[in-house]
Amino acid sequence: MTLSAMAFVAIVVLVVQLRGELKRLQEEPIDSLHWNVTQMELDVVRFEAAARLALAVPGSDLGDLKMRFDLFYNRAATVMQGSMFARLGLSDAVTPLKTQMRAFMDETAALIDGDEVSLRAGLPQVVEQVGALRQDLRATAIQVIDVNAAMEDARRASLSGMLQRLAIASVTLVLLLLGLLGLVVTLNRQAGRRAREVQRITSRLAATVGTSLDGVIVAGMDGRVVDFNAAAETIFGYARAEAVGQPLSSLIIPPQHRAAHEAGMERMKTTGIRHVVDAGRIKITAMRRNGEEFPVELSIASNDSPEGMIFIAYLRDISQARAAEAALVAARDEAQAAERTKTSFIAVMSHEMRTPLNGVIGALEVLGRGRLEPRQERFLTLARNSARQLLRHVNDVLDISRVDAGASGVLDDRFDLPALVATLVDPLRPQAAQKGLGIEVEMLGSFPPLMGDPFRIGQILQNFVSNAIKFTDQGSITVEAEVLPVSPDQVELELRVTDTGIGIAETDQERIFEDFVMVDPSFGRSVGGTGLGLAISRRLASAMSGEVGVESEPGQGSCFWLRLPLRKAEARDTAPQAGQADLPVTPALDVLVVEDNETNRIVLEDMLTHLGHRVTLAVDGGEGVEKARAKRFDLILMDLSMPLMDGWTAATVIRMGGASRASRILAVTAHVRPDAMDRFAESGMDGWLAKPLSTRSLAEALAQGADPAPGAAPASDDLLDRERLEDLRQITDGGGFGRLLETFRVHVEKTLAAVEGGVETDPFDTMAALLHASVGAAAVVGAKRLCEEFARAEAAAVAADRPALLAACKTLPATWAATWAAFGALTQPG
């Protein structure tokens, strides 16, 4: 009670002193607003005087008038836009004055900022308005001062009353504190009851931990066990009495992990950095009493206790879960292996089936050249169409197997889109014409040279166009191509094939891109097909980071589209016409061009004639076979996509016999892939050229397979790998490089002698082994061209194709002579 009385007296004394201080504050004037208003009034008076002077003296300088107006304008803007009136609650009192001043300032500012003639003409009006403004400003200033004084009086009175209430509140607060003292006593009694309740809860928690299925281990900051529940006893094999007080590291942690555990504990003591504690669930290896190590799932939490920091570890034995997981992984791997085996089997079988099928097709074409009875002709046509249909199905299965197996790589070659589209669509026009359909090609916008995989793009486009022909009985088919810019170096290619065919229901538009799906199987039987074309197209588009889709209405037709991100090709330097003198020189050759497109035939004939060669033309595969059998040609340029007999079949038949059975055959196409070496070997082709052809690429291709012209040796950069040779120079010391070349020379000459003596009679496996060794030796020393020709000959030997082997081996001596001469020039001193 004494303390309460003293506190009460102190509060009363404080209130009395505070009231006296406030009384002194009430007597202090607040004149800031008054001063600003007075200054503004003074500025108005000065401006008025300047205006009257300018009016009285017509030729006087108006600079002082403008300066006085600017001073008044700035002062008025500062006062009227400030928050002083709002803080004092005088906004309503000065609103009329603000409106009047704003109107005056806006009108006068226009005159002040205008020309001098207008300003002098408006001076009488300005003098009149500023006089009225001065009177109103004076009256308003007096009113503001009165209002401000009244408000200050009210504020002082309010503040005085507030302080009185504060004193009363302070007294009340003291009384409340006295009441709270009694409440504290009551709460203390309640705390005792709660402590007893906490003890009961703790007992229950201990029982819960003791019966938990997970092991719970509590350890102190010193790393020794404080508690060890029953589940931990079962998991680790220690009794609780044995575990408590023991170091955790020697109890359950394997020996190879103890050093890391102790280092982590020391780091946490010194730096407070935690890696495992409070980090959630982790999986580690623990150790049982008998020394067995096993996987556990662990979570460690920390908490403060009267004895210091403690750590609570929750452990679960996951040995059985790991075993089940391992079994699941093994089952998955086994299933994947089985899938790969199936895919590989399909690919191998499809590949093996193509070889005899090509032979059957070739044999049927040969039979068709003779005179046949109508019945024989009908059955031969049926057999020929069936064989081709079967070959297409086999190719589809092989293609989709390769894509699924990841063996179908994507090229990044330069190509010309308009030429590619024309080359792909033209061979399909006769097929469309048989059904009375026309194919329109619309190239929208400009088309820069692009980098991508023209073969895969062409494969997708041909699938779209072939399907359009199949499922369209009347109307037309339109192929549209468009390149949309994405960035300076990136574009998006969009190809669209639109038809007026049967259309596809919306519910089936996604299904048709799945394997072996035909929307109407009965209709599919009439047009043929396996339902793989669109599935392959989707896989190929995805491999090129693109997508395919369809928009269709039943009975109205369909629009299949391909969208593909591509890069623009870098611009090639165009050499002047005189640079044609640098083209490879070859002796005049007899060249057979087999091409069904008239434009392509004319272009090839002109290019070959310009290079000095003799040209014979054939309009399809069948005519090409007849001319190749009747006369020996040095080179045959074979288009692949032709009606009646394609280029693959024609090459196969030519290799069977005739005057040109050993001639060099090159495929000319816009979309064949260089990784299709198996098909080259099967058909007997020696290589390929990509459309559109340039004179240089054609001349280089002819030079690679021709006997060297007198005085025209191949360029050493084309013969030798300079980087490889430089590496050899660096790793061989002294005369090591020369000895290496001499050893290589002896090896090649022995190989060429063996090839010359056995190329027509020796077994294919013997020839393949001999040529394979030379491929490796040529690659080691950087003989680039020679390595390529040995590899081509080896491929022919592996394919058991004697004509192709003879053709490939024919060029080896000349290439070796040029290669050795290039080596000699490279090793000359200086």
DSSP 555: T
**Helix extents (H) in 90-122:** 91-113, 116-121
Task: Compute the distance between CA of residue 89 and CA of residue 110 in angstroms, rounded to an integer.
Answer: 33
Whether 465 and 497 have beta carbons less than 8 Å apart is answered as yes
The highest-confidence range among 10-19, 259-268, 514-523, by mean pLDDT, is 259-268
Name the band, by pLDDT with cuts 50, 70 and 90, for residue 745.
confident
Residue 561 burial (CB count, 10 A): 16
User: Does the pLDDT at position 108 exceed 90?
Assistant: no
**601 φ/ψ angles, rounded to the nearest 5 degrees:** -65, -45
Dihedral Cα 787, 790, 791, 793, nearest 10 deg:
160
Helix, strand, or coil here: 643?
A: coil
Q: Exposure of 352 by Cβ count < 10 A (0-12 exposed, 13-18 middle, 19+ buried)?
A: exposed
Cβ–Cβ < 8 Å for 671, 619: no
Reported as half-sphere exposure (CB side, CA atoms, 13 A), residue 15 has a value of 19
| Among the ranges given (339-343, 373-377, 533-537, 780-784), the one the predictor scored with the smallest mean pLDDT | 339-343
Distance CA 284, CA 565 (A): 46
Kindly report which listed range (230-244, 627-641, 708-722, 792-806) carries the lowest average pLDDT score: 708-722
* Residue 694 CB neighbours (<10 A): 11
Higher per-residue pLDDT: 408 or 208: 208
**160 or 490, greater pLDDT:** 490
H/E stretch holding 662: none
How far is residue 583's CA from residue 606's CA, in Å, rounded to a whole number?
16
- pLDDT at residue 349, rounded to an integer: 60
Question: Average of pLDDT values for 303-316?
Answer: 76
| Mean pLDDT of the region 454-460 | 83
- Give yes or no for residue 537 having a pLDDT over 50: yes
- pLDDT tier at 47 (50, 70, 90 boundaries)? confident
Q: Which helix (H) or strand (E) holds 666?
A: strand 664-669
794 or 6: which carries more pLDDT confidence?
794
pLDDT band at 711 (very low <50, low <70, confident <90, very high): very low
Kindly report the average pLDDT of the chain as a whole number.
Answer: 76
Report the share of the chain in percent with pLDDT over 70.
71
Collapsing DSSP states into helix, strand and coil, what is residue 639? strand
The percentage of the chain sitting over the pLDDT mark of 90, rounded to a whole number, equals 8
- What is the structure's pLDDT at 78? 76
Choice between 82 and 797, residue whose per-residue pLDDT is larger: 797
Q: What is the number of other CB atoms lying within 10 angstroms of the CB of residue 323?
A: 11
Instruction: Tell me the pLDDT band of 561, cut-offs 50, 70 and 90.
Output: very high
Q: Which residues of 419-446 are buried (b: 16+ CB within 10 A; e: fewer)?
A: bbbbbbbbbbbeebeeeebebebeeeee
Higher pLDDT, 686 or 340: 686
- Other C-beta atoms closer than 10 Å to the C-beta of 246 total 16
Tokens of 60: 């006087």
pLDDT at 394: 65
Stretch 535-551: mean pLDDT, rounded? Answer: 87
Report the distance separating Cα 40 and Cα 104, nearest Å.
14
Cα dihedral 206, 208, 214, 219 in deg (nearest 10): -10
Weakest-pLDDT range from 101-105, 234-238, 783-787:
101-105
Does 409 or 594 have the greater pLDDT score? Answer: 594
816 closest CA partner among 759, 744, 711, 768: 744
What the chain holds in terms of domains, given with CATH numbers, is 6-179 (1.20.120), 212-317 (3.30.450.20), 332-401 (1.10.287), 411-568 (3.30.565.10), 582-705 (3.40.50.2300), 718-827 (1.20.120.160)
Mean predicted confidence (pLDDT) in 236-265? 82
Peptide bond between residue 454 and the one before it cis (omega within 30 degrees of 0): no
Lowest average pLDDT, out of 255-269, 463-477, 745-759, 805-819, goes to 255-269
DSSP three-state, residue 584: coil
* Residue 776 vs residue 406, higher pLDDT: 776
Band the pLDDT of 27: cuts 50, 70, 90.
very low
Q: How much is the pLDDT for 388?
A: 62
What average pLDDT score do residues 554-568 get? 91
Residues 6+ apart with CB under 8 A from 528: 389, 470
CA atoms within 13 A on the CB side of 266: 7
pLDDT in tens, 585-639: 678 899 999 988 776 777 678 788 888 889 999 988 999 999 999 999 999 999 8
DSSP 8-class letter at 501:
S
Q: Does position 450 have pLDDT exceeding 50, yes or no?
A: yes
Cβ-in-10-Å burial (0-12, 13-18, 19+) of 556 comes to exposed
Cβ neighbours of residue 641 under 8 Å, at least 6 residues apart?
A: 423, 424, 427, 647, 669
Between these two residues, 466 and 782, which has the higher pLDDT value? 466
> What average pLDDT does range 509-535 have in this prediction?
61
Integer Cα distance of 466 and 446 in angstroms: 26
Per-residue pLDDT at 191 = 83
Token representation of residue 290: 């008998």
What's the whole-number mean pLDDT along residues 483-511? 88
What contacts 420, CB < 8 A, 6 or more positions away? 454, 457, 458, 670, 671, 691
Which of the four pLDDT bands, split at 50, 70 and 90, describes residue 4? low
Angstrom distance (rounded) from CA 166 to CA 18: 11
Whether 312 and 303 have beta carbons less than 8 Å apart is answered as yes
Ramachandran category for residue 503: left, alpha or beta (phi over 0 → left; psi -120 to 50 → alpha): left
| In the predicted structure, residue 565 carries a pLDDT above the cut 90 | yes
Reading the block at residue 161, the tokens are: 């009353």
Mean pLDDT score, 364-388 = 70
User: With 0-12 CB in 10 A as exposed, 13-18 as middle and 19+ as buried, what is 232?
Assistant: buried
Lowest mean pLDDT among 143-152, 412-421, 638-647: 143-152
**Model confidence at 1: pLDDT above 60:** no
Query: At residue 396, does pLDDT exceed 70?
Result: no
Residues in the chain: 830
Question: Which residues are paired to 283 by β-bridges?
Answer: 297
What's residue 189's pLDDT? 83
* CA gap 308, 329 in Å, rounded: 45
Sign of the CA dihedral 747, 748, 749, 755? Answer: positive
Question: Is the entire prediction scored with pTM above 0.85?
Answer: no
